[in-house]
Amino acid sequence: MGDIIKAGTKLSSAVCQTQIMALRAPIERLEITCGGAPMVTEDGEKGEMDSDLAGGTLVGKRYVDEREAMEFLCTRAGEGTVQVNGVSLDIKQAKQLPSSD
């Protein structure tokens, strides 16, 4: 299936300019894709992107799964959508601070 990803692992898209770094990941095999193609640990030739998975990534944003069990930092923006095991990651939202009334 996929690989076991450790915190600090840098991944590059095989179809666009997107690069991410793992900040937190469960100790299990994960298939991480961007634009429909598996992400790789080194830059290489770029293939074709799945047009349905061209939502884009934003540099400096943290991407998490629904449970926030895994977190990735986008270090270079691109056109592809990052997915883990077929589920798209979302931008991590800031936590609400209590009112200072």
Q: Is residue 101 part of a domain?
A: no
Number of Cβ within 10 Å of residue 28's Cβ equals: 12
Q: Is residue 42 part of a domain?
A: yes
Residue 41 is given by DSSP the state: S
Q: Is residue 54 part of a domain?
A: yes
Q: Are 30 and 4 spatial neighbours (Cβ–Cβ below 8 Å)? A: yes
| Number of domains into which the chain is organized | 1
Q: Is residue 53 part of a domain?
A: yes
Please report the pLDDT score of residue 45 as a whole number. Answer: 64
Q: Is residue 67 part of a domain?
A: yes
pLDDT tens figures, 50-94: 888 888 999 999 999 999 899 999 999 999 999 999 999 999 998
Q: Is residue 85 part of a domain?
A: yes
Q: What is the pTM of this model?
A: 0.85
Which domain range does residue 62 map to? 3-91
